[in-house]
Amino acid sequence: MQVFMKKRVRFFFVTFLLLIFVLVGNAYAADTDYTFPNITNPGSISGVESLSVDGTTTLTGETKINVSGTATTTIGNQSSAVNILGGTNTIGNVGSSVNTLNGSTNTLNATAQNAITGGTGNAITSVTGNNAITAVTGNNVMSALGVNGENRLEANAATGTNSIEAKRNNIGVGTTNSTNTIGNTFAGTTVDLKGGNSHVAVQQGSASIGSGTNGLTTTSTASTLGTDAATLNTQLNGVGDEASRANLAGASYVNRLEGDTLINGNTFINGRLVYTSNTVATTSVNSGTSILPSAGKTSGHMTIVNKDQIAPHAVVDGNGRIAIANGPATEASSAMTLTNGMGNTHGMVITERKTVISGGTQSTSLTLDDRGATFGKSSNGDPVRVTGVADGKSRWDAVNYGQLNRGVAIAASMATIPQVEQDKTFSLGAGTGYYGDETGIAIGGSVRLSPNTVMKAAASFSPTEFDNAAFSAGFAYSW
């Protein structure tokens, strides 16, 4: 009995010591961090205030880290790499939690979707390294679907750069009535849109559209694109030469184009058109269909070229033949020409010394210069026939072929009237003449004043033209 009591006392004593050890251990564990070299546990780890895991760590199955506490959970450091791989990765929970990934390189990889969700905001920050958000086969979506939601890409205001790189970059293409703003109103802001060697540049005081080194430029000092017109006086700013500015002065404009400009399509102008230049003005229409029996095409040109300027322009040789030249102009000229399907160029060419007009399937030309008006065959200079000339009426009118023939017929009719016979005193007669399909009729008489003196007179006309009559008179003394 005594031995039994001793065993019971010993058992209770040992149990008491174990109870004290457990209580003290739990109290100690609440204020102490534990470090274990390796942990393999299919259950859970809990009941500790702080848990630090170093080295390669593998968490398998459903894993929850700090889902109920308010303390900060840190995974990795600034010099380590942290990889979170899975079909769907969720960091944080809606509420007041703050999720922070800090490291040299932070990578979120998912074959389906990466979701970063925070109640008040999500911050992805790298002090010195890079942040990469990658979806191998899926999509990366930044969305702010709440009322007045906003997605922002920000970099250092002094040295930072935001880059969007893809085969196709779309901004605001799927939202109805969207407003897309690039740049701001600060004086130092520049917006530059590029496609190959073409660009659109907007900066303080100017906006330009260019291709290569040329293009359209508008500046606030010359004109402002808008509805209010400016007056072309002091705002010309060196457009063209002095004569050109004089032609434009006083006109009003809204938009101004400078540099080489290509218009590929129809152009419609409703209003007055004033074109001024100090070099060259050309208009060409090519590849027309010819009505002549040839396989060639027609081409038309209107050119105004100053001396020494290089542009397609019309030239004329000594016979009045017109051709299109492409080298430097030897003299100023203005021309409107058409090259027919046979390759012959006709039209009108005006230079400082002469004006040439040519036409025909081959070429007949009229040259007006200080010598007068000269008709000729352009190929060799031979004379040509001039038709359609009306009867001349005044002293300096040209005489046509019909007038010439009537004159010859009238003269011939007066020559046929016989003279007074010998030993007779008076004679009265009539005559007719014919030349070149024209007829003349004459009436005349003669008188013998003495045996040795005779006087003769006659008048003639054409029956097809009564306005022009001819008169003649003569005196003869014989011995």
pLDDT in tens, 109-122: 656 666 666 556 66
Query: Strand 88-91 to strand 113-116: parallel, antiparallel, or no bridges (unpaired)?
Result: parallel
Flag the least confident range among 4-13, 41-50, 83-92, 215-224: 215-224
- Read out DSSP for 442-454? EEEEEEEEETTEE
Q: Taking a C-beta distance cutoff of 8 angstroms, is the pair 226, 208 a contact? A: no
- Read out DSSP for 345-370? EEEEEEESS-EEEEETTTTEEEEEET
Q: Which residues of 90-111 are buried (b: 16+ CB within 10 A; e: fewer)?
A: ebbeeeebebebbbbebbbebe
Architecture of the structural domain at 401-477 = 2-Layer Sandwich (3.30)
Question: Does 184 score more than 80 pLDDT?
Answer: yes
- Model confidence band, residue 186 (pLDDT cutoffs 50, 70, 90): confident
Answer with the residue of higher pLDDT: 337 or 42. Answer: 337
Burial of residue 116 (number of CB atoms within 10 Å: 0-12, 13-18, 19+): middle
Three-point CA angle 460, 463, 465, nearest 5°: 90
* 93-104 confidence digits (pLDDT tens): 555 555 565 555
How many angstroms separate the CA atoms of 446 and 429, rounded? 9
How many angstroms separate the CA atoms of 436 and 422, rounded? 36
- Model confidence band, residue 322 (pLDDT cutoffs 50, 70, 90): very high
Give the residue among 339, 310, 309 at the shortest CA–CA distance from 324. Answer: 339
Domain boundary assignment for the chain? 191-253, 282-377, 401-477
The model's pTM: 0.48
Question: Does 356 score more than 80 pLDDT?
Answer: yes
Please give the pLDDT value at position 229: 45
Please give the pLDDT value at position 253: 64
* 374-431 confidence digits (pLDDT tens): 999 998 989 999 999 998 888 889 889 998 999 999 999 999 999 888 888 999 999 9
Q: What is the mean pLDDT of residues 208-224?
A: 57
Question: Does 205 score more than 90 pLDDT?
Answer: no
